[in-house]
Structure formats: structure tokens, C-alpha cells
Amino acid sequence: FSETFYFFLSNRVHPDGTGSVTALQVRLGTLAAEAVNGFDFSNVSGALPARAGGTVRFVTGGGNAANGIDVLIGERFAPLRGLRIGLITNHTGIDKSGNPTIDLLRSAPGVSLVALFSPEHGIRGEADERVSDSRDPVSGLPLYSLFGERTKPSPEQLAGLDALVYDIQDIGARFYTFESTLGLAMEAAASANLQFFVLDRVDPVGGAAVEGPLLDGKTSFVAWHPVVVRPGMTVGELALMYKDEKNLALNLHVVSVHSWSRSEWQDDAGLPWINTSPNIRNLTEAGLYTGVALLERTNVSVGRGTTTPFEIFGAPYVDAALLVEALASLHLEGVAFTPLSFTPDASTNKGELCHGARIILTDRKAFNALGTGIAIVKTLHDLYPSAFDVEKVDDLLRHPPTIAAIRAGKSLEEIVALWQPGREAFEARRAKYLLYP
């Protein structure tokens, strides 16, 4: 009303990260108002004044969802008090204000954080190789890698603990190894008779879509449990499924997300983005990853070694214009393709000029990641059957009938139809574990 802005910048560092700055904010706000000459704040009422271009409104950055760590803070860490904790986390373990869960638990009243465990990419999310055990240079705590010599906490590492706490941001893909780390840690906790807490987090690309084939074949670190490629479940919901279907004798606690709808992406929910791994750098890449990553084990670059991984793909033997024309003819919903050439400086085809496509997400609600991914795979095989290594796609897809159908020249509709029975069976299993509308 007075056309005045007041900026108040603060953090919560005293005492022990739990102090309140409300009184200070009120006092400084009052002083700022008193400093505005010629305006009577006491008589302000009614709607905000109209301006050219519309009405002034406050923008809060989306919804007001709270991840498990934020809920735990609101409970003043009551569920963890009196416990010696091992925390499984990385750089994505933060509250809504960006404070690391490591620091929050270190300063939580009555909580004893005694060990850290890190997943793939390490505790800071910067490594693209196997990681060794060490001591965390920031907290000084012992740091055990679950992506090094072992992928599961050992009995020796769990000795003296009362509970494990899991707080990692997943992106909703079966082959994203954070889900496997969750399951293996739950098995270890059950064997050691420890409590297990999952600080749940929203699925950043929404939890409504259920896509892809059900796991067909042996399990592995990129296919730990028989779910579809995109299960549309949070890590808390997956934990409930793992416990039940693996028959784990585990004292499991899920600290649920508040005020989140399954259809919401992370920005819809008003939550901050943080790169989940070195090559997932924004929500668009997270959304594309589940489909485009099917190419990871093949001889096609998915943009690793460029500034836009998973937003582009290509290979030296590809004709970019021909590829894009073929993909456009499929009329895939929510996505478009433009031709480009690029030279990755890392990973597949490092240092080689690649030709391919840039993927443009035009409607993320209509976009089907697995449908798009398999359309790309089929198109590459149809155009370059002797050059493109289609068999390698099954390293992550884990559904041999799909590869056989591609080789047999089946249509995209026929291929996707192969997934329906397994997906429907999975959705029936999934229903009783869902925590959010």
C-alpha cells in the first residue's frame, strides 16, 4: 500500500539453531513502517491497489509442503531423543531453509549423532566414482561409504547405535541407486535390531505417474526390488513396501511429508531444488532422466560431459536431422526435439563430435518419461540397427521382452502394451503403501 519494501535477512543460530527471531523481525518491521513519511498504516484496509498490468499480489514460490526433516524440527526431534543415531544422507538432506540434516541432528536436544553413511556420489554429492570410508571433515564424525567396498552397513559399523535415520532426496527412478541404498540399510538395521527412521521427501517430479515395465529378471543394485521403472512412490512409501514384501522384522518409522499432493512437482510444492547428483542439475533433467537414462550403458552419449546432461543425446554415427524427423513423426505428448551437435568432455563418446537431439519439455504433466525413452531407443535401433547397441538398454530397463519386441520391429504401441499387465499388478500392490492423496 505504501509502495515500500522491507527486507529482513536472518538465520537461526542461537541457541543451538532453535532460536526465534520473530520478536526482532516485528520490532524492525515496526521501525521500517515508522520511517515511511506521510503514510498512515493504521488505516490500511481493503484490496491492494490496481496497477498497470494487473493487481499486485504476493508470490510465495508455490505450495507450502514440508519434508520429513521439517516435520521433525516442528516436533523438536522428539522421536529421536535419547537415541544414538547413524545418519544415512548426503548434500540433499536439508530442511526447507537449506540447513543440512547433519547439522540439525548434531545440535538437536537429546539426540546423539555418532556416525554418517553416504550413498553413491558421496556425502557432498560430488563424486562420480566409488567412495572410501573416511572421517567427515566438517562434522568430524566417522563417515562410512555405501558405494565403495560395500553397499550395505556392516554389523561393526552399526555396533553401539540405537537407530538409523535416512534422509536423501530421491528422484523416483528404480535404477537411481538411492532406493537400493534405502532397502539394503533397512535389511542391515533389521539384522542389528535397530530402529529405522525415514525422513520422507516429496517425489520431485510428482508421485502420480506410474510408468514402465515391472522388473523381469534378477535383482541388482540398480534393480533392488520388483517395481516398475517409475513407481510413483516416495522413499517413505517404498520403505513400507520393502518392509512388508521383504518380511523384515524392523521397527520402521516414516516421518511423513505434510501438505503435499502426489500430482505436485517439487517447485509446485514450494520446496527448494538441490542437485541430486553431479549430472541431475535441475527439475527438467530429473523429469527426463527416467527415460533418457535407458541409453546410459549404450554407445550413445546422454550429455554427460556437457552443461545439459539428460537434456541432449547423440552419437558420432547419427544424422541429427533424420533422427529428429523420425521422433517428430511419433507425436509424443509433452515433449519436442531439435537437432544439435555436441562434443562431450567426459563419459561416453568423450572428445568425439556427436549428432543427435535436444529434448524440450513442453508439458511436464502430459510427459511420459518411459514412453519417451523407449521411443528414442526404438528410433535409434530402427535407423541404426548395426551401430546402436540396443541390448545394453536392458541393463537398466530389466525387461527382455521389450528388447525382443524392438528387434522384431514391433510398433511403439505394441511395445508399451507389453508393460500393462505388470504395471497393473504393481499398482495393486502399491496402493496400500501410499501415504499421500
* Band of pLDDT at residue 27, cut at 50, 70 and 90: confident
Q: Is pLDDT of 56 > 50?
A: no
Q: What percentage of the chain has pLDDT greater than the value 90?
A: 82
Note whether 92 and 168 are within 8 A (CB). Answer: yes
Q: What is the mean pLDDT of the chain?
A: 92
Rg (CA), the chain: 24
pLDDT digits (tens, 9 = 90+) for 338-347: 999 999 999 9
Region class of 403: left (phi > 0), else alpha (psi between -120 and 50), else beta = alpha
pLDDT digits (tens, 9 = 90+) for 151-188: 999 999 999 999 999 999 999 999 999 999 999 999 99
pLDDT at 7: 84
Q: Which of 231, 180, 185 is nearest to 208 (CA)?
A: 231
User: What cell does 382 get?
Assistant: 530402427
Global pTM reads 0.86
pLDDT digits (tens, 9 = 90+) for 197-252: 999 999 999 999 999 999 998 999 999 999 999 999 999 999 999 999 999 999 99
Which are the contacts of 276, defined by CB distance < 8 A and separation ≥ 6? 92, 125, 169, 170, 171, 204, 286
pLDDT digits (tens, 9 = 90+) for 272-299: 889 999 999 999 999 999 999 999 999 9
CB atoms within 10 A of CB 251: 14
Q: Is pLDDT of 414 > 80?
A: yes
The single-letter DSSP state of residue 288 is H
**Residue at grid coordinates 517428430:** 328
Q: Is pLDDT of 15 > 90?
A: no
Q: Helix, strand, coil proportions of the chain in percent (round to 5)?
A: 30, 15, 50
Least confident segment among 60-64, 294-298, 368-372: 60-64
Distance between CA atoms of 356 and 279, rounded to whole angstroms? 19
